[in-house]
Structures are given as C-alpha cells and as structure tokens.
C-alpha cells in the first residue's frame, strides 16, 4: 500500500475518533455535575464511567475550615463500546504510523530544511490541546482571548525550538524536542494525578509523546508523518468547532419577526436613569434567617430619600429569566425572543429610552452566559475578569502552565466595573440610561467587607449532587456589596437638585441556599420541606430613588415585574396594568440558552 492510501486511512481513523467522541458527548454524558473530592475516586472509576472537566471549572481555593471540597465535571456513562472503538481507531493509527516510518526509512528522505510555515504547523501539534479545547467550547470563549493564549504558547514553542537548535544544530531534532517538551508540560500531571481522566485530547497527547520517543533516534524520518498528522488534527478541530456552532444555533430565529416596536409614551423625562442590579441579593427577612441584620444599609438608603420595599419578591429564581422579565415589563412566556441575550439586548426599556433620546449603557458582568449586542444599546461593557479566569482555568488547570491561571486573580472585577461607571458619569452627555449588572453578592465570593480576598469555598457538599451555599462567605461578600453600593449612591447623588438621577437598586432573585446540580426536579418534595427554601429563592431587595416619585403609587407592590411596570408608567408615561404576582421556579440544571425553556413552574 502506498503512502497516499496510508494517509487517507490515517485521516479516516482520526475522523472516527472525533465522531465517537461527539456521540459520547451528545448522548451518554451529564454535564456540569459537582463531585466531592472525597467521592471523586468512587465516582470516576466506576465501570462504564469517566469524568471530564467542562469549561465551567470551579476556581481553586484553599479550604480553611472543615467540610468537603468539590470539582465540577462532565460524567460520561456507557463508555465501554465507545472507548473500544476509539482504541481500535488509535491502534489502526499506530499501525499506519509504523508502516509510514518503515517506508520513510527505505526511501531515506531528508527533511533537514524546515520552512517557517511548517515550523508553525508543527508548533500547533505541541499545543493542539488548547486548539481542541477552544473549538470544543467555541460558543463560550472569546476569540481574542483564545488567540492570545495560542500565540503566547506558540512563542514558548519557538523559544524552546531556538534553544534546542543552538545545541543540536538541526531543525528536525530541535522541532521534535520542542514538541515533546511542550506535550510533557501539558500532560505530565496525568501521571502524577491520583484520579486521572483520559479523555480524547489527553489520549492523543500521550500517543504523540510515545511516537516521538519511538522515532527520537532518527527524527528526520518523523517530520514527513507529523506534518499531515498535525494538519489532520487542526482540520478536525475546525470541523468540530463548526459542529458546535451549528448544534447551538436555533435556525427558527431567522423566521421570527423583530420589527421595531413603537411605544406610546406620554412623558419625556430629563433625568438620568441608573438601574443597579446586585445579583442574588437576599431580602431582609432571608438575611435575618441567616443571622444577619441588614438594617444599617437599609437605613442609610432611607436617609438618602430612597424608598426601600419591605417585602419584595422576584418572579424568577434565575438571573437571565429575571432580567428578561423586568426589562420587558412582563413575564417571559409572552415574549417572542429566541434567547435571553436577545430579550435583554433588545428589551422594551432600551427601546423606550432610544425613542426618548436617551444614551443607553449596559455593564455586563457575566458575558460567559450573556452576550449583549448593540443593535439598540449604544455602549456595552463586558467584564473580562470572569471570562479570563474561566478560560485560563480551562486551558491551564492540571498542567505545568497552571501558574498562568492566577494572572487574572490579581485584579478586582468590581473596581474595574465601577471605574467604567465613573467614566460614564464624567461624560458630558444628557439623558443617560445605565443598566449595571454587578455579580455581587453572587458567587464567586471574592472579597470580605474590607476588600480582602476570601479563600473559603463557595458551596458545601451535603450528599450526591446536593449542595448548600456557604452562607458565611456569602454574608461577607454582601457586606462588601453594601459598601460599594453606598459609595456609588453617594457619587450619583453628588449633583444639583435638578440634575439628580432616578436610581433603582434591586436583586434579581434571592439566595439559593440548597440545591441539586443534577435532576433537581425529582428532589423538589425533599427541598420544599424547608419552609425557607422557596421564600429564600424569591425574597429579594428593591430600593427606588426619584425626586419626582409618588410613593403612594408603589405602596401595594410585591413583585419586581409589577414594580417595573409602575416605574415605566410613572417615568415614561406608559399604561401598563398590574399583573397577577407569580413566582416561577427554574430548576438548577435548566439550560440558559433558550428563553422559552426557562419558563419554570409556578410555585406559591
């Protein structure tokens, strides 16, 4: 058999490996499952089971008190047949490799003069893991961030190549050594980890290292094989990424009508409007139940003429559904948007503001799940802290490059977001509507009241897939949120009386004290035995400042959606009627990708 046919069979073998991996991922996997460290070995070494870290890796933390630590994993079941087929494909690949090497020895081909494009291609072989992980999570990782990591690692490859060339005086030998060392840096922890997970990209890395060791005696004979092998890997990664994009695209979107809606507005306010979302901010009753008196914060706001609502509930217990609801002044069921991102980006409040000549701003603290487009909103600020942290965790955790993961830990994401707000406040523009989403006191709990970094974990393991929130860390971060919110309020109110803005400070939902990370619906009866379970999820916070407001108009307001309807009537001159106050419980493991799947179940 000639080499051309061997290369075709090699490509088919690689293609089959990725197909089997695709089937495993789509059919036989549970995603984002929290597994306690103490049960990791038992869970991940069961027959027919393997564990793979997904993109949403938990940030490593030092645990100072007693309790269980855990890691978030994808658990794959029924893997015997899939793995057997993958091993057969790899065995076929190994046989083809041996045949090609034998033919190269007979032909005695030299490849001493390696061009720069070929060196770059071989460099991708050394960091194919990053390329694979990016294309496998292409919808969740910003291109520029992934590209910067790939370029940085390629630079390291070229540095090693250059150093080796000074020693070996040979391009082929230097390239092979550089590739081998980069693979070792990425895969050595597989052999020292107590509970390794051998997913497909790690298997390919080990196979590559083994092949390099076999041919290290005569590296020149390995280059002719490595070039098409690497090209095949890159092509298949690109195909894999394209498949991810297609699988997550809802083509029904293109059949929807998104005609510009014209609202009947009878008022044209001149004041700036600032809407401040404090994610997962629990109401006063819930905080008392948790042992914390929040009256100092509330009284300070009241002294600044805020109306603080005593008993306000969110209508949804998840962020994307809650924001989609309040910004469109309705429950999400009648909304026609395809995704929460569309519902928020093109929300009614921003359309009204545009109609009234407002400059619109959106501060987005969680771009991993929420992409804000600028079809209507003029200025969008995406916090890169959590994206960078998660991406670096994906690329570098469990490798010898892991120290690079902590580069992003030295920045303060809250201060960065507040700095952006200060820039906007200093702009000489009339009529601003600013929606600021702060990921506090929502996990990860980063700071205590004094701005010192917290080192305790976010959640506490209870039993299989069941967790309780770390209320101690939550309350510390909430105190920090109070300090920063009051600083922002003082900054906003430091204007003349006729220029004082309208300010809304609210929580999108309460605190999820106990939850199941998988199949939560089947555990609802157990969870509801705790009388604070549902109350804590929906009891949240709302404070409203408007020099022109009619406080009596808001007296009988008990839910966020009805407050925002009344706010719209008072400020924009709409004519929204009150809706029945409802609470929709959305299960923890519900996908946030499509709006209509986040409707939830009505609870009392």
For residue 325, give both structure tokens: 């609801």
Q: What's the full length of the chain, in residues?
A: 604
Instruction: Verify that 96 and 175 share a domain, yes or no.
Output: yes
Distance between CA atoms of residues 67 and 494, nearest Å: 46
* 426 belongs to a structural domain: yes
Instruction: Verify that 432 and 574 share a domain, yes or no.
Output: yes
pLDDT at position 249 is 52
H helices of 383-470, where?
385-396, 413-425
Distance between CA atoms of residues 498 and 270, nearest Å: 9
> Which CATH number characterizes residue 355's domain?
3.40.720.10
Residue 264 — left, alpha, or beta (φ > 0 → left; ψ -120 to 50 → alpha)?
beta
* 111 belongs to a structural domain: yes
Instruction: Verify that 413 and 318 share a domain, yes or no.
Output: yes
Containing domain of residue 444, as a range?
Answer: 271-603
Burial class (CB in 10 A: 0-12, 13-18, 19+), 434: buried
Instruction: Verify that 277 and 232 share a domain, yes or no.
Output: no
* 493 belongs to a structural domain: yes
Instruction: Verify that 442 and 376 share a domain, yes or no.
Output: yes
pLDDT at position 572 is 96
Distance between CA atoms of residues 463 and 526, nearest Å: 13
Q: Which of 216, 248, 280 is the last residue of a domain?
A: 248
* 73 belongs to a structural domain: no
pLDDT at position 326 is 97
CA separation (Å) from 306 to 282, 300, 301, 432, 502?
Answer: 18, 9, 5, 20, 10
Q: Nearest to residue 515, comparing CAs of 583, 588, 460? A: 588
Distance between CA atoms of residues 321 and 328, nearest Å: 11
Q: Which of 248, 263, 296 is the last residue of a domain?
A: 248
Residue 503 — left, alpha, or beta (φ > 0 → left; ψ -120 to 50 → alpha)?
beta
pLDDT at position 251 is 43
Q: Which of 248, 280, 311 is the last residue of a domain?
A: 248
Instruction: Verify that 169 and 303 share a domain, yes or no.
Output: no
* 69 belongs to a structural domain: no
Burial 58-80 (b: 16+ CB within 10 A, else e): bbebeeeeebebbbbbbbbeebe
Q: pTM above the 0.95 mark?
A: no
Distance between CA atoms of residues 310 and 357, nearest Å: 34
Indicate the number of domains in the chain. Answer: 2
pLDDT along the chain (604 residues), means of 10: 69 70 69 61 62 44 37 66 70 64 50 69 78 70 72 82 81 78 64 43 55 51 66 72 61 42 87 95 94 96 96 93 96 89 92 94 76 83 57 55 51 70 79 92 84 70 69 92 94 81 96 79 81 88 95 94 97 95 87 72 78
């Amino acid at each position: 058999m000639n080499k051309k046919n061997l290369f075709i069979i090699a490509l088919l073998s690689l293609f089959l490996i990725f197909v089997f991996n695709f089937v495993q991922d789509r059919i036989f996997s549970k995603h984002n499952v929290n597994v306690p460290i103490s049960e990791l070995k038992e869970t991940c070494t069961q027959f027919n089971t393997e564990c793979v870290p997904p993109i949403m890796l938990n940030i490593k933390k030092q645990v100072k008190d007693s309790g269980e630590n855990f890691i978030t994993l994808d658990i794959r079941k029924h893997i015997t047949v899939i793995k057997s087929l993958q091993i057969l494909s790899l065995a076929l690949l190994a046989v083809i490799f041996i045949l090609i090497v034998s033919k190269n020895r007979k032909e005695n081909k030299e490849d001493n003069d390696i061009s720069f494009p070929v060196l770059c291609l071989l460099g991708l072989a050394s960091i194919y893991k990053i390329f694979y992980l990016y294309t496998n999570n292409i919808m969740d990782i910003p291109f520029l961030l992934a590209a910067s990591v790939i370029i940085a690692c390629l630079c390291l490859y070229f540095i090693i190549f250059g150093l080796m060339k000074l020693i070996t005086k040979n391009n082929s030998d230097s390239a092979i050594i550089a590739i081998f060392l980069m693979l070792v840096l990425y895969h050595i922890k597989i052999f020292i980890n107590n509970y390794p997970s051998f997913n497909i990209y790690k298997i390919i890395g080990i196979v590559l290292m083994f092949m390099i060791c076999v041919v290290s005696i005569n590296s020149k004979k390995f280059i002719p094989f490595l070039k098409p092998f690497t090209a095949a890997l890159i092509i298949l990664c690109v195909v894999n990424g394209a498949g991810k994009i297609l699988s997550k695209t809802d083509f029904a979107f293109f059949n929807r009508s998104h005609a510009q809606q014209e609202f009947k507005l009878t008022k044209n306010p001149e004041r700036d409007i600032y809407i401040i979302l404090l994610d997962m901010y629990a109401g006063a009753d819930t905080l008392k139940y948790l042992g914390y008196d929040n009256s100092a914060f509330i009284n300070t706001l009241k002294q600044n003429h805020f109306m603080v609502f005593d008993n306000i509930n969110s209508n949804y217990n998840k962020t994307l559904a809650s924001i989609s609801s309040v910004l469109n002044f309705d429950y999400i069921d009648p909304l026609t948007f395809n995704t929460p991102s569309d519902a928020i980006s093109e929300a009614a409040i921003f359309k009204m503001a545009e109609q009234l000549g407002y400059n619109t701003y959106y501060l987005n603290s969680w771009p991993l799940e929420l992409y804000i487009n600028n079809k209507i909103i003029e200025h969008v600020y995406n916090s890169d802290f959590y994206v960078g942290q998660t991406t670096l965790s994906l690329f570098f955790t469990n490798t010898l490059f892991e120290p690079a993961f902590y580069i992003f830990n030295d920045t303060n994401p809250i201060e960065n977001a507040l700095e952006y707000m200060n820039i906007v406040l200093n702009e000489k523009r009339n009529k601003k509507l600013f929606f600021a989403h702060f990921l506090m006191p929502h996990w990860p709990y980063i700071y205590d009241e004094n701005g010192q970094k917290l080192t305790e974990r976010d959640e506490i393991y209870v039993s299989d897939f069941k967790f309780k929130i770390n209320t101690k860390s939550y309350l510390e971060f909430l105190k920090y949120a109070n300090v920063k919110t009051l600083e922002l309020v003082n900054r906003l109110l430091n204007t003349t009386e006729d220029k004082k803005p309208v300010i809304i400070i609210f929580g999108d939902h309460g605190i999820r004290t106990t939850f199941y990370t998988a199949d939560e619906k089947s555990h609802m009866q157990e969870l509801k035995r705790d009388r604070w379970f549902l109350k804590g999820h929906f009891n949240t916070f709302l404070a409203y400042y408007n020099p022109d407001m009619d406080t009596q108009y808001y007296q009988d307001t008990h839910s966020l959606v009805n407050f925002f309807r009344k706010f719209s009537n008072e400020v924009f001159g709409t004519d929204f009627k009150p809706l029945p106050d409802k609470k929709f419980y959305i299960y923890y493991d519900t996908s946030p990708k499509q709006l209509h799947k986040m409707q939830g179940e009505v609870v009392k």
